[in-house]
Amino acid sequence: MNKTTAPCIVLTRPKAAAERFAKSLRAAQPKARVIISPVLEISYRKDVVLPQADRLVFTSVHGVEGYARLGGLALPAYCVGARTAETARVEGFTVLATAQNSDELVDMLRTREKSTLLHARGAFVAGDLSTNVKGLAEAVVYDQPVRMLTKEALQALSGETTVVLPLFSPRTAGELAKQNSLAAPLYAIFMSDSVKARFQGVDTEKSRVVDFASNEAMLEATLELFDAACALEGRALGD
């Protein structure tokens, strides 16, 4: 197979998250070619009536921002992920505890909390907390419509040059797997087994599920696989 360009990294996260991740990638690998092509768009709702609650549950940064945009009360909150917790603090919420993932959050709420809870969430979520936590109400504060891949991303994913592809969410992985043009050699990094499961049926040259579901772990794995792809090509980025 003839390849004429160095490997690239394609980011399919929503725009703001992709841009933050790209900044970290470029800081570590300044000459890396990074293509941003969000598969999902974040669209905040304006007409949601928020139920009354004593405590809040945030499982994403967008949940915090969507709730705050609706003028919700700054109630104490449980969060998933350090970035979600930090965003909640910046918005004026008291963070009671931070879980690493949804399973840990469920265990935490079952053992710690008897108050009325409100989960501010998106239209699509990886897991349904309401079936696992009694007394949990939900408010859908943002939507995640699907976007078409950019021309640049389509060319990369359908070409002959290796693409390093970090995937963070099951829905993004599932939507991307529907593409008929994923012909490029793929080095895929998955944030969880559930993300990998939604990418089944797509051939990958290499794949890895990170041990710890965090941006830091995804960044480290992405850089490692990018270096591996460059080494396989026999190219150094400085050449």
The domain limits of the chain are: 8-40+147-233, 43-143
- Please report the pLDDT score of residue 25 as a whole number: 97
- Residues (pLDDT < 50) of the chain are 1-3, 236-237, 239
CATH fold of the domain at 43-143: Rossmann fold (3.40.50)
Tell me if 227 sits within 8 A of 234, measured CB to CB: no
Two structure tokens written together for 2? 């003839």
- Please report the pLDDT score of residue 44 as a whole number: 97
| Domains 8-40+147-233 and 43-143 equal at CATH topology level | yes
- Dihedral pair phi/psi, residue 159, rounded to 5°: -90, -160
Task: Give the helix ranges, DSSP H, for 29-99.
Answer: 61-69, 82-90
Q: How many CA atoms lie within 13 A of 194 on its CB side?
A: 12
Written in H, E and C, the secondary structure of 154-215 is HHHHCCCCCEEEEECCHHHHHHHHCCCCCCCCEEEEECCHHHHHHCCCCCCCEEEECCCCCH
What CATH number is given for 8-40+147-233 in this structure? Answer: 3.40.50.360
- pTM of this structure: 0.85
- Please report the pLDDT score of residue 127 as a whole number: 67
